Amino acid sequence: MGFVIKRVYDRAEASDGYRVLVDRLWPRGVSKERAELDLWDKDVAPSPELRTEWHHNRERFDEFAERYRGELDANDAARALVALGEEHDRVTLLFGARDEQVNHAAVLIEWLGGHGASVDRDA
């Protein structure tokens, strides 16, 4: 099974397993009850500086992804997330971005897969 990504605005499902919000900022319009989180892991999100510079500009996504992977390589929280995947059959990484393809969670799940975590890219 492994890690999957999903918008925090989508309905929580039993199949989500352990639910982790991977945004630094709380998503607008979502109550804590509705989010049904097991963990809010702000520290694995892009740095405030990187997030602000990128600001979801599709044209700069490759540059953003490269810099974010560099941040993840130096981030203890990212390594802890890999370990979390070993503790749970399924970990759903939740993000608030509108674009389901071009966002930091897509980079994060790719990074996790490259660091030994099981990922389900088809979910």
Q: What is the pLDDT of residue 2?
A: 93
Give the orientation angle of helix 104-114 with respect to helix 61-73, to 10 degrees. Answer: 50
Q: What is the pLDDT of residue 55?
A: 81
| pLDDT tens per residue across span 6-28 | 999 999 999 999 999 999 999 99
- Taking alpha carbons only, the member of 46, 62, 64, 45 closest to residue 54 is 64
Q: Which pair of structure tokens corresponds to residue 77?
A: 């929280």
| pLDDT tens per residue across span 48-82 | 999 998 887 888 999 999 999 999 999 999 999 99
What gap in Å lies between CA 110 and CA 35, rounded to an integer? 24
